[in-house]
Structure 1
Amino acid sequence: MDLLRKFERVVKIALIVMLIVSAGLISAWLLSANKKEEPDVSLGGAAEQNEVSSNTRLADKLDLLPDKCTLNMDLSNLTFSGEDGEKIALSGLRGKTVILNFWASWCPYCNSELEQWRDIRERLSQYSNVEMLLVNKLDNNKETKAQALDYLKKNQIPFENVYDEGLKVYDQLGLKVIPTTLVIDGQGLLRAWHAGKDMKPELLKSMVDYAVHGSAYETFNFLDKEMINRDGGVRTNYLPEKVSDLRYTDVLSESQGLLMEYAVNTENKSLFEKSFNYVNKNMHDNPLAAWVVTDKGPAKVNSTLDDLRIFRALYNAEKLWGGYADTIRNYERALYRYNTYKQNLINQYDFKYRKKSDSLKLCFADFEAMQYLAELNPRWKEIYTNSLAIVKDGYIGDVFPVYYPEYVIAGKTYKKEDINMAEGMVTLLHLAKIGQLKPQTLEWLKTAVEGEGIYARYRADGTVVDGYNYESTAIYGLVGMIAAAAGDKELANRAQARMETMRVFDSGNKVNGAFGNPDGTGIYSFDQCIALLSYSVAGKDTRQAL
C-alpha cells in the first residue's frame, strides 16, 4: 500500500508540473500572438533599412557635385561666349529644357561621353523642345579654342559648343570636376545634375524626363506599375528583404495614408479613391485601420499616426471634392474612443484584447490633424494642448535640438532611448506646420544637411549609434517638408539634392525613378511615398536665384 501511495503522489506531482508547464506555454504563446499583432511603430515598417550600400557611396556622389548651387536654383542668368565672342545668355533659351555639358578636349571621361553622340542625339530627338550645349572649360592654357574646335570637328560632334572663358561660370557654380552635366528646365531652374564619369545616354534621358515631366513623374510611374497591387494597396518592399520582419507583399496603413495625402496635394481624385478604397475594403474590420494587412488578413491593432494621417487626407478631400463628411465624423468618434486616454493621445488600440496603449510616440502627435478634429468636436482642444505640452517638454536640448522618442503617460516619464531619425523628423514636421519649430533645430538641420548629413539613429547625446551611420531617402524628404513649412527655401533645395543622390536615374531600367538601388534592392514603400509627398510640398515653392 505504501508503495502504491508513493506512486500516486509521484503521479499527482507530475500532473501538477505538467499543468504548470502547459499553462506557461499557453501564456507564452498568447503573449507571442499578441505581440505579433502590435505594430512596430518605427516609421517605414518593421526595420530601419540601409538606403545605400555604404555611406561612402553617397559621400562620393556629393563630393563631386557643384557646391555653390543646388537643385531648383534659378540659373537663367548664366552667360557664355560663342565662337566669335558673342554673348550667349541662358535667359534667351527660356521655355526650352537646356542641357549644359561642361567638358574639355583633354578630358578622357568627357571624350567617352561625347563618343556616344549618336545615341544621345537619337534620344533627345524624342523631345520637341530640348537643346544640348557643350560648355568648353576654356582656360587658354590646358585648353584653347583651337584644341576644342579641332576635337569637335575630328569627331563630328553635332552639338552646339560655347565657351566658359576665364572659368567664370565654372567658379560661379562651384563646379569641381569635368564632365559635369546640368539639366535646366524651361523656367531656368536647375532640375537634375551629374558629375564625374559614367554618364550614360539612359541616365541623361532620365534626367531630361525629370526636367520635362516633373520630379514626381517617374517615381510615381514606378510605384504605380511595380508596387501598387491590383486592389490599390502599396506593397512594403519592391523585393523580399532579409532585413525586414514584414513580407514584401504586406500593405501598411502608413503607405496608404501617405499616398492619400499625396493625392490630395496633387488633386488626383482617382488616386485618392483607389488608395482609400483599399483602406475601406481591406483594413477596416474594426472602426480604425489595421496597421498592416498580411496574407492572413488585417491586423487587429491600429497605428494612431496612420489613422490621423488618413483622417487628415479625408478632411482635405472633403474640402476639395466633397462626399466624405460622414466618414470623417465617424473617424473623429473612433479616434477619440480608441486612441485617447484621459484626454491624452496614445499610440494604438488592440481590438483583439481590447487594450489601449499606455504611451505616446512623440511623432504620433499630428497637430494639424488634431486641429481639424477640434473643428468637428471641441473635446480635441484639450488633447491638442496636452499633446503639445508632452512634445515640447520632450526637447533634449540645444546641443542636440530634437526630441525624445516616447512618453509614458501613467509614469509621466520619457523613454530616453535612441532616436530613430525618421521618427524624429516627423515630430519636427508636425511642429513646423504649426509654427513651433525651434530656431536651434532649424540651424542644426541646415548644418547637418550642408555637412556630413543626417544619419539613421542617434543617442540622446547627439552621437550616432553604431551601425546606423547611413542616410535615407525619407529623412531628407522629411527635412525638405520641414524646411518648406519653416519657409527656408535653401534648406528645402539642399535636402532634395541629397535625397536625389539615392534615386535611380536610368531610363532603361525597370526601377527608373525609384529610390533605392538599381538592382532593385533597398526599395521600400515608405521612401517612395515620402519622396512623392516631399515633391508635392517642398517642390511647390523652392525656387532660389543663384
Structure 2
Amino acid sequence: MKAYRMTIVLSTYILFMLLFLSGCKPKTSEIVVPTKLSQNFVIQSKLNKNPRQTSLLLNFIQTKMLTSRGIYTNYRNVKSVNGITNGHQMLSESSGLWLIYLASTHQFKRFRVFYKATKKTFNQQIQFSYRYDPQTHQLSNVNATLDDLRIIRALQLYATLTHSHYYRHEAAKRFSLLKTGSLKNGKLANFYDVKTHKQSTNSSLAYYDFVTLKYFETVTTKGKKFYKHQLHVVKQGYLGDAFPLYASSFNLKTYAYSNRSLNTSEALETVLHLAEVGEVKTETLNWLKIQIESGHLYNRYSTLGIVLDKSQSAANYSLAAMIFANAGDNREYQRAMRLAWQAQVTQKGSPLYGGLGDLKSKDAYSYNNFTGN
C-alpha cells in the first residue's frame, strides 16, 4: 500500500513538473505561411554594381571578417568600451546582411550552411540575440528587432528563389516567434529581453522593415491593421519639408516621437524601408540629391537639420544609393556609389586591402562593408 501511495505521489509530481515546464515555454503564435508570391524580396535592380571593386570587397569580407560562427564587427580587435559592440564581437545584424547577399547571389549551399551557423550562434528560441562575444561565449539577453526581420527576409528570399517549402515555413515560424516577443500585438519594440521577459518601450523608426512586415502581416485582417498602423507611425515621424527625414524613434507608451539628434545611417534605413514599398517622399529624394551632389552627407544632424558631426561613412552613401535604386534613379545611384567606394582601401600591402575602412586606424566595420556589398 505504501509503495502504491509512493507511485501516486511520484506520478503526480512528474505530471506537475511537465505542466510547469510546458508553462515556462514561450507562447507561440499560430504559424501562418503566406501563399502569395513574394517577388518584392528579390532585388530587381540591374544597375552597375562596380564588379572589380565589389570583388575586392568580397575577398576582404570573406578572408578577414567572416568566421564559421559569424562576422567580426570590426577588423581591428579592440575591446568593447561602455557596452558598445566593437572588435571581434559578432552581431546578428551582420549575419542577416550576409544571408541576404548569399541568397540574392544564388549561393544556396553557402546560405544553408551559414544559416545553420547563425542559429547555433544567436538563437534564443523566440528571437536571435543581437550580439555574441566569442571570447566569453556570452550572448546578449536582448535582440534587435530589425536584425530578426533581416534574417526572416533572407529566409523568405531563399524560399522564393529555390521554391523551398522548408525555408518558407522556417521564415513564417521565425516571424510567428517574433510576435511573442518584440513584435507583440503589432507593436514593434526595439528589443525583447529573454531574461526579464520585458519589451523595450522604444521603437526605432529605422527598424520597420516594411517589405518583410507587409508580407507576413497582411495575410490576416488583424495583421493588415497592424501593418497600416506601423506605416502610420513611421510616416507621422516626418520632420517636415525643410529637413525631410524622420524622427529617430517613437515611444510605445507615451506615443511621443523623440527629439534626439539623428544618426544618418539609421535615418536612411528608415527612408530605404519606405522607398522599398513606394512610400518615399519627393522632398526626401531631393534633399538627398543635394547632399550627394555636394559630397557632404554627414554622420549626425539635429532634428532641425543642423550638422552635429562632420565625419562621414561609406554606409551613408551606400544607403543613399539603395534608396535611389528603389526610386529608379540610376544617375544618383551611380553618384552615391562613387562616394561610397572612396572609402575602399586600395593599397595592396594593407591588411584592409579591398575593404571599406580607415587605413591609419585599421578600423573596418562590418556594417560599412556589408552595405557597400
Aligned positions, number:
322
Q: 2:70 aligns with which of 233, 258, 272?
A: 233
- State how 1:303-322 maps to structure 2 within 5 Å: 303-321=144-162, 322=164
Determine whether 1:292 maps to 2:164: no
Residue 345 of structure 2 contacts residue 356 of structure 2 at CA under 8 Å; is this kept in 1?
yes
Where structure 2 has 5 or more consecutive residues not aligned to the other structure, the ranges are 1-45
Residue 315 of structure 1 contacts residue 372 of structure 1 at CA under 8 Å; is this kept in 2?
no
Q: 2:313 aligns with which of 463, 472, 475?
A: 472
Residue 300 of structure 1 contacts residue 352 of structure 1 at CA under 8 Å; is this kept in 2?
yes
The residue that corresponds to 1:511 in the other structure is 352
Looking at structure 2, the residues matched to 368 and 325 of structure 1 have their Cα atoms a distance apart, in angstroms, of 15
C-alpha deviation, 1:215, in angstroms: 3.2
Q: 1:498 aligns with which of 320, 333, 339?
A: 339
Determine whether 1:337 maps to 2:180: yes
Looking at structure 2, the residues matched to 414 and 381 of structure 1 have their Cα atoms a distance apart, in angstroms, of 23
The residue that corresponds to 2:240 in the other structure is 397
Q: 1:217 aligns with which of 29, 51, 55?
A: 55
Looking at structure 2, the residues matched to 268 and 521 of structure 1 have their Cα atoms a distance apart, in angstroms, of 30
The residue that corresponds to 1:158 in the other structure is none
Q: 2:306 aligns with which of 445, 463, 475?
A: 463
C-alpha deviation, 1:289, in angstroms: 0.3
Looking at structure 1, the residues matched to 264 and 353 of structure 2 have their Cα atoms a distance apart, in angstroms, of 27
Query: Cα deviations across residues 420-453 of structure 1 (Å, max 9, x unaligned)?
Result: 1100000000000111111010000000110141
SS in 1 for 2:307: coil
Looking at structure 2, the residues matched to 476 and 253 of structure 1 have their Cα atoms a distance apart, in angstroms, of 22
Partner amino acid, structure 1, of 2:227? Y
Residue 291 of structure 2 contacts residue 297 of structure 2 at CA under 8 Å; is this kept in 1?
yes
Partner amino acid, structure 1, of 2:250? Y
Looking at structure 1, the residues matched to 110 and 315 of structure 2 have their Cα atoms a distance apart, in angstroms, of 21
Residue 361 of structure 1 contacts residue 407 of structure 1 at CA under 8 Å; is this kept in 2?
yes
Residue 312 of structure 1 contacts residue 372 of structure 1 at CA under 8 Å; is this kept in 2?
no
- State how 1:24-173 maps to structure 2 within 5 Å: none
SS in 2 for 1:414: coil
Looking at structure 2, the residues matched to 527 and 452 of structure 1 have their Cα atoms a distance apart, in angstroms, of 17
Looking at structure 1, the residues matched to 181 and 124 of structure 2 have their Cα atoms a distance apart, in angstroms, of 14
Residue 104 of structure 2 contacts residue 157 of structure 2 at CA under 8 Å; is this kept in 1?
no
Looking at structure 2, the residues matched to 247 and 392 of structure 1 have their Cα atoms a distance apart, in angstroms, of 32
Q: Percent identity?
A: 30
Q: 2:103 aligns with which of 252, 261, 264?
A: 264
Looking at structure 2, the residues matched to 379 and 313 of structure 1 have their Cα atoms a distance apart, in angstroms, of 25
Residue 80 of structure 2 contacts residue 86 of structure 2 at CA under 8 Å; is this kept in 1?
no
Determine whether 1:347 maps to 2:186: no
Query: Cα deviations across residues 113-152 of structure 1 (Å, max 9, x unaligned)?
Result: xxxxxxxxxxxxxxxxxxxxxxxxxxxxxxxxxxxxxxxx
Partner amino acid, structure 1, of 2:272? L
The normalised TM-score by structure 1 is: 0.56
Looking at structure 2, the residues matched to 376 and 260 of structure 1 have their Cα atoms a distance apart, in angstroms, of 25
Residue 238 of structure 1 contacts residue 520 of structure 1 at CA under 8 Å; is this kept in 2?
no
Partner amino acid, structure 2, of 1:394? G
Residue 218 of structure 2 contacts residue 227 of structure 2 at CA under 8 Å; is this kept in 1?
no
Looking at structure 1, the residues matched to 263 and 372 of structure 2 have their Cα atoms a distance apart, in angstroms, of 18
C-alpha deviation, 1:328, in angstroms: 1.4
Closer, same or farther in 2 for the Cα pair 1:378/1:227, shift >3 Å?
A: farther
The residue that corresponds to 2:199 in the other structure is 356
SS in 2 for 1:337: coil
Q: Bigger radius of gyration, 1 or 2?
A: 1
SS in 1 for 2:180: helix
SS in 1 for 2:250: strand
Residue 223 of structure 1 contacts residue 514 of structure 1 at CA under 8 Å; is this kept in 2?
yes
Residue 253 of structure 1 contacts residue 290 of structure 1 at CA under 8 Å; is this kept in 2?
yes
Looking at structure 1, the residues matched to 321 and 363 of structure 2 have their Cα atoms a distance apart, in angstroms, of 21
The residue that corresponds to 1:43 in the other structure is none
The residue that corresponds to 1:22 in the other structure is none
SS in 2 for 1:215: helix
Residue 290 of structure 1 contacts residue 299 of structure 1 at CA under 8 Å; is this kept in 2?
yes
C-alpha deviation, 1:316, in angstroms: 1.1
- State how 1:390-429 maps to structure 2 within 5 Å: 390-429=233-272
Structure 1 range deviating more: 516-525 or 472-481: 516-525
Structure 1 range deviating more: 478-487 or 336-345: 336-345
C-alpha deviation, 1:333, in angstroms: 1.3
The normalised TM-score by structure 2 is: 0.82
Query: Cα deviations across residues 164-206 of structure 1 (Å, max 9, x unaligned)?
Result: xxxxxxxxxxxxxxxxxxxxxxxxx8x9xxxxxxxxxxxxxxx
Determine whether 1:531 maps to 2:372: yes
- State how 1:177-188 maps to structure 2 within 5 Å: none
Residue 480 of structure 1 contacts residue 493 of structure 1 at CA under 8 Å; is this kept in 2?
yes
Partner amino acid, structure 2, of 1:255? S
Closer, same or farther in 2 for the Cα pair 1:520/1:277, shift >3 Å?
A: farther
C-alpha deviation, 1:377, in angstroms: 4.9
